[in-house]
């Protein structure tokens, strides 16, 4: 086995029909994993699974739709994965929600709860669903896709940033709790990535130019820039890493941001 070999591993990746999640699924499939493509719409999951199977040259991807806002659908996702693909070795909590842009003084209680339910509570649910089986089989790896927003203040995406900061602590705490069972829990903290989810931050050419200028590497990220890190954190190469948050932002935060 090579340090980056995922041969025979089963991975659930939420929010994987497009964007960062899709790139992670593609990279893990190429590395040998059997990946479960999950997002809200089954047709989108099926289309992505078909493209990944073609890319990998094998039946590497299985589409199973689920909404992260529904505990029952997530339970069904895990159970169906076990029945159709196998016990879960790798969980990537990538799906997220940001329903509000503006100052904290203007966010409704319902919107604030939705941000936390979908970005923190759903991760807690899913991890709790897969961890017992991982422990029984001698270990596993869990990756939470957070954001550099969890390290920064903002006058437009404050609730989202607060939730992403909570994800960092979720990872640290669960690394302590699950470490004795050889379950590693880490986070990835992307900067601005060219996805539909982050379009409001980069779709204006002037906004993207400003982000590029503030980033030492001179550009915003692409989904593929996150995929290799996810493979690393899931693979034997990172077997002594847990409770950590890997920032992937082209140097934006170390340069002081905008």
Contact 114, 97 (CB under 8 A): yes
What are 142's strand-pairing partners? 91, 185
Q: Which among 32, 127, 130, 160 is annotated as catalytic?
A: 160
61-63, strands of its sheet edge to edge:
61-63, 34-38, 10-14, 90-93, 140-145, 183-190, 245-248
- Residue 160 annotated among the catalytic residues of the structure: yes
Contact 132, 117 (CB under 8 A): no
Dihedral Cα 222, 227, 230, 236, nearest 10 deg: -140
Tokens 């094998």 correspond to what residue? Answer: 58
Q: Where in the sequence numbering do the catalytic residues fall?
A: 160
């Amino acid at each position: 086995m090579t340090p980056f070999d995922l041969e025979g591993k089963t991975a659930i990746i939420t929010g994987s029909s497009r964007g960062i999640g899709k790139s992670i699924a593609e990279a893990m499939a190429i590395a040998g994993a059997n990946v479960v493509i999950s997002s809200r719409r089954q047709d989108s999951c099926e289309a992505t699974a078909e493209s990944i199977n073609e890319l990998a040259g094998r039946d590497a991807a299985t589409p199973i739709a689920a909404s992260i806002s529904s505990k029952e659908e997530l339970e069904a996702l895990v159970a169906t994965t076990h029945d159709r693909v196998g016990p879960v070795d790798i969980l990537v909590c990538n799906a997220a929600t940001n329903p509000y842009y503006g100052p904290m003084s203007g966010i409704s209680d319902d919107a604030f709860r939705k941000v936390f339910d979908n970005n923190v509570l759903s991760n807690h649910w899913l991890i709790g669903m897969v961890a017992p089986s991982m422990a029984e089989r001698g270990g596993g790896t869990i990756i939470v896709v957070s954001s550099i927003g969890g390290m920064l203040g903002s006058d437009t995406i404050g609730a989202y940033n607060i939730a992403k900061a909570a994800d960092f602590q979720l990872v640290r705490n669960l690394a302590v709790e699950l470490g004795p069972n050889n379950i590693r829990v880490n986070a990835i903290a992307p900067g601005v990535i060219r996805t539909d989810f982050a379009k409001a931050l980069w779709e204006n050419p002037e906004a993207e130019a400003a982000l590029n200028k503030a980033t030492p590497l001179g550009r915003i990220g692409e989904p593929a820039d996150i995929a290799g890190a996810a493979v690393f954190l899931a693979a034997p190469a990172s077997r002594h890493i847990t409770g950590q948050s890997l920032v992937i932002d082209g140097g934006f935060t170390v340069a002081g941001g905008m």
